[in-house]
């Protein structure tokens, strides 16, 4: 369960409280869950005796577009993600469901934080609509996260050759296949985000 060390102002969030997106390597942190969890921590006697942890803005509609809520961690509080089996186990946390400043206040460790903030992040009709949105060069958000996960934590082979391959997190396929020159510069890249 998430908890706050009120002396150090560190909010601890365990890996087990996150939503698994890719087995053992990529997890989601929903901003609404973060808001509810922090609200619960602040409303007990100990929480009320300490400075506020966050500011929260509800979603709102402007000219027919509903914009996502925002959660801002304030007053020097920081977030520590915990839970890898060993200090060298890496996992990524994708922030979803609203704008936030978690990437600014998290304590770096073997956990990577992928922020999806956007000026005017709008609420989608469903989660799949967001993940299936084509962002760049025909790749959806879902495919881009898979490629980023591979690049950050996938197995690498051929680093000393002219053909470098990077596997997906589950080690089932090559996500990135790059031809490089003798200086290591990529001359061609094949990406598989499927």
Q: Which of 43, 65, 41 is nearest to 124 (CA)?
A: 65
pTM comes to: 0.58
Share of the chain above pLDDT 90, in %: 18
- Whole-number mean pLDDT of the chain? 83
Model confidence pLDDT, tens digit, residues 119-168: 555 555 555 667 777 887 788 888 888 888 888 888 888 888 888 888 88
> Do the beta carbons of residue 168 and residue 175 sit within 8 Å?
yes
Counting Cα atoms < 13 Å in the Cβ hemisphere of 39 gives 9
Query: Measured between alpha carbons, how far is 122 from 61 in angstroms, rounded to an integer?
Result: 9
Counting Cα atoms < 13 Å in the Cβ hemisphere of 194 gives 4
When mean pLDDT is compared across 9-13, 23-27, 35-39, 59-63, the lowest value belongs to 59-63
Coil vs helix vs strand at 9: coil
Query: Measured between alpha carbons, how far is 71 from 31 in angstroms, rounded to an integer?
Result: 7
Strands (E), the chain: 3-5, 10-14, 19-22, 26-30, 54-57, 60-62, 65-67, 70-73, 78-82, 91-96, 99-100, 111-114, 134-136, 139-140, 156-157, 163-167, 174-180, 186-191
Residue with the two structure tokens 């890996």: 15
Predicted pLDDT at 53: 93
Predicted pLDDT at 9: 96
Share of the chain above pLDDT 70, in %: 87
Residue with the two structure tokens 């961690």: 73
């Amino acid at each position: 369960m998430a908890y706050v060390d009120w002396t150090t102002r560190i909010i601890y969030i365990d890996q087990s409280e996150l939503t698994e997106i890719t087995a053992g390597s990529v997890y989601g942190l929903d901003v609404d869950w973060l808001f509810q969890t922090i609200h619960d921590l602040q409303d007990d006697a100990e929480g009320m005796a300490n400075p506020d942890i966050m500011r929260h803005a509800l979603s709102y509609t402007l000219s027919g577009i509903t914009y996502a809520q925002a959660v801002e961690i304030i007053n020097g509080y920081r977030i520590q993600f915990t839970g890898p089996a060993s200090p060298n186990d890496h996992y990524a946390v994708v922030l979803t469901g609203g704008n936030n400043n978690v990437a600014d206040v998290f304590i770096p460790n073997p956990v990577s934080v992928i922020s999806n903030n956007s000026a005017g992040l709008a609420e989608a009709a469903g989660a799949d609509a967001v993940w299936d949105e084509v962002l760049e060069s025909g790749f959806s958000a879902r495919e881009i996260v898979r490629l980023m996960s591979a690049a950050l934590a996938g197995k690498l082979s051929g680093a000393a050759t002219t053909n470098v391959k990077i596997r997906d997190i589950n080690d089932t396929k090559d996500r990135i296949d790059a031809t490089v020159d003798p200086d290591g510069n990529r001359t061609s890249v094949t990406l598989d985000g499927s």
